[in-house]
Amino acid sequence: MKTAHDLVTEAKTRIHEIQPQDADAAIRDAAVLIDVREADEYHAGHIPGAVHIPRGLLEFKLSNDPALSARDQKLVLYCKTSGRAALAAQSLQEMGYLHVLSIQGGFDAWCEADKPVDKPSLPPLD
């Protein structure tokens, strides 16, 4: 039986990951930057410009939102350490998305690289 770690390791062999230092250019070039973490994680701080779509809703949101359904748009994903983003990237590739990138090391690596973080000043409403 495979573990979650096994699934992430396998997914990372099938997706494209970028280093945090290369993420700025990829984000500028992307149609959407997606934070796949949970709401409390997103509200505690996120990469500027990120849209919050939790991992559990990602496929449904992209399938049902005309603005996100174009399979040729460039997407950049991240989570806390890159496991959930790797699984999400693999899933989106299987759905036919052609340009999906995941930030290696996720939000933790982004913060360790001393990159900017947005922290909402209002409490979350969801």
Residues known to be catalytic: 79
- Rounded-to-integer distance, Cα 83 and Cα 13, Å: 12
Select from 120, 92, 80 the least CA-distant residue to 30.
92
Select from 57, 40, 51, 50 the least CA-distant residue to 123.
40
